Amino acid sequence: MKKFLMIAGSVFVGFCLFGVACIALVGGAAVDEADKAIKKDLETPAGKGASAKSSDGKIATYKEYQKVKPGMTYEEVKKIIGQDGEETSNSEVGGIKTTIYDWMNNDGSNTSIIFQEDQVDSKSQFGLKE
């Protein structure tokens, strides 16, 4: 069952990343609206649903991403990245709790980390820089 949830979580993250890539390729008004929505979310003050950002808009870096290891708790990951992630999914199937957190930078680069039973199960990233 745990393998199934790992695979399902990975497929979910893959579909999310595929969707972002498709939007980037389509262009036009849909992309403009999506950009506006993302920018609005990123400009929301900390404590009102968005993570605090450094002055250059960076939330997560590739170096931080590499430090995140399977089995770490959310609090350990938060200490590495330096701030809360956005909870994008939360479910419990067969008594196993799965939560996905995302950290998105102003330039669109991001990391998604899947926690099962409050420990890192898997992670993915797109475009993170040092």
Residue 5, token pair as written in the block: 């949830």
pLDDT in tens, 5-63: 667 566 566 565 565 555 555 554 455 565 655 555 555 444 333 444 444 567 899 99
The architecture that CATH gives domain 2-126 is 2-Layer Sandwich (3.30)
Helix/strand number for the chain, H first, E second: 4, 4
Cα–Cα distance for residue pair 37/14, rounded to 1 Å? 21
Strands 119-126 and 96-104: unpaired
- Give the H or E element holding residue 88: strand 86-93
Cα–Cα distance for residue pair 119/95, rounded to 1 Å? 15
